Amino acid sequence: MPGLRAPSDYKQEPPRHPALAINSKEPFNAEPHRSALVSSYVTPVEFFYKRNHGPIPIVDDVNKYSVSFTGLIDNQKELYMKDIWNLPKYTVTATLQCAGNRRTAMSKSQKVRGVGWDISAIGNAVWSGAKLADVLELIGIPKYSNVTSRGGKHVEFVSIDKCKEENGGPYKASIPLSQATNPEADVLLAYEMNGETLNRDHGYPLRVIVPGVIGARSVKWLDSINIIANECQGFFMQKDYKMFPPSVNWDNINWSSRRPQMDFPVQCAICSLEDVNMVKPGKITIKGYAVSGGGRGIERVDVSVDGGKTWVEASRSQKSGMLYISDDESSDKWAWVLFETEADISQATEIIAKAVDIAGNVQPENVEVIWNLRGILNTSWHRVHVRVGHSNL
Ligand SMILES: Nc1nc2c(c(=O)[nH]1)N[C@H]1C(S)=C(S)[C@@H](COP(=O)(O)O)O[C@H]1N2
Ligand SMILES: [Mo]
């Protein structure tokens, strides 16, 4: 593809903020300190987690860069950045969460395979770009299509990065055509993040944002979009990012028995406290994020400061100065809420948070019941421990 190329080594990686905790250097996988997540509703680009499976692609000439549209459509087509820029520009605030967020804690119950993430493989950004529904209309697929005249039912996004898991081939994933052509699903081909041109780590020049769905489907550095009959057969759809029951291990796994994970479940985590934290006796502030998939708002966040015996409801907010209403048009439906409450602490204790979404979905109490060999979707109650000490500790 002219204009965009993929190096096979890590000699030309972009600069990154030194405060990120690096979970893997090559490919680069890093997350911010948890406290950075509750400093602002919109996560600054430099503190947004970075999840890669290969070296970061390079754009030589953005004017030569194009995305090709192939597969079960009447006319194959190339779209250049100017064609994408010419479409109406939409801005969507959406939380991106890696399915492996909180994996390290799942590993403590029983070992799992995958990059070890703490609780910050998640971030909330303002994405701008063209709606995929508009782009597909431009190439001849009407809005609200379930199937194209040639039998296409899925939209496959193919990148150019060289991934080990794909034997050096590119990262790819797909979503159903019905979601891709539905303007209300807000699927974007994004070229901006937080009002700035997308940077290399996050998919420059063009990436997909699939709101409400695990990060793995938001393909970066788009090279082609294929309209296909069956879902993408790539590694990351078929041999990864699937949720298995606790009974499945590496000896009895049958990958084809499960569907690729799409929506993420209801999640929350406390970000204002470490585990373990030393505090002075008295009032402490407990802050964190809560989010659910599929555009489901957050109905409630419960916090306990006595290990789960009693609970108080935390306040929830998105944009400052505006009341958050979980299913109201004024709220950002694809975005997290930040929650906050205060508590009096006089002795060592366990602090817990759990969220409820507008469908009444709740988080499981323990990690054991949702343990899975790849360590994805750890949404168990988030717990931190505090010890109480006096100053000079
Ligand atoms: N081309 C490409 N797209 C990709 C990936 C990748 O490795 N290559 N990683 C995916 C995964 S697993 C996640 S969680 C998100 C991370 O996006 P971010 O790095 O912008 O936070 O990108 C997704 N898109
Ligand atoms: Mo991910």
Where do the domains of the chain lie?
4-257, 267-388
Please write the tens of the pLDDT for every residue from 172-223: 999 999 999 999 999 999 999 999 999 999 999 999 999 999 999 999 999 9
Ligand 1, atom 21, lies closest to the CA of 50
Span 64-80, mean pLDDT? 96
Rounded to an integer, what distance in angstroms lies between the CA atom of residue 73 and that of residue 93?
A: 31
Q: Which ligand is nearest to the CA of 16?
A: 1
Q: Quickly count: other Cβ atoms within 10 Å of residue 259's Cβ.
A: 11
**pLDDT-based confidence at residue 391 (cuts at 50, 70, 90):** low
Tell me how far the alpha carbon of residue 87 is from its chain's centroid: 25
Structure tokens at 72: 């079960």
- The model's pTM is 0.97
CA dihedral 9, 14, 20, 26 (to 10 degrees): 0
Give me ligand 2 centre to Cα 37, in Å. Answer: 17
Give me ligand 2 centre to Cα 171, in Å. Answer: 12
Please write the tens of the pLDDT for every residue from 107-150: 998 999 999 999 999 999 999 999 999 999 999 999 999 999 99
What is the dotted CATH code of the domain comprising 267-388?
A: 2.60.40.650
Rounded to an integer, what distance in angstroms lies between the CA atom of residue 190 and that of residue 128?
A: 5
Ligand 1, atom 4, lies closest to the CA of 219
Rounded to an integer, what distance in angstroms lies between the CA atom of residue 107 and that of residue 283?
A: 33
Structure tokens at 257: 């028995």
For 4-257, which CATH class? alpha beta
Give me ligand 2 centre to Cα 207, in Å. Answer: 14
Render 209-228 in DSSP notation, one character per residue: E-TTB-GGGS-SS--EEEEE
Q: Which ligand is nearest to the CA of 164?
A: 1
Q: Which pLDDT does position 320 carry in this prediction? A: 81
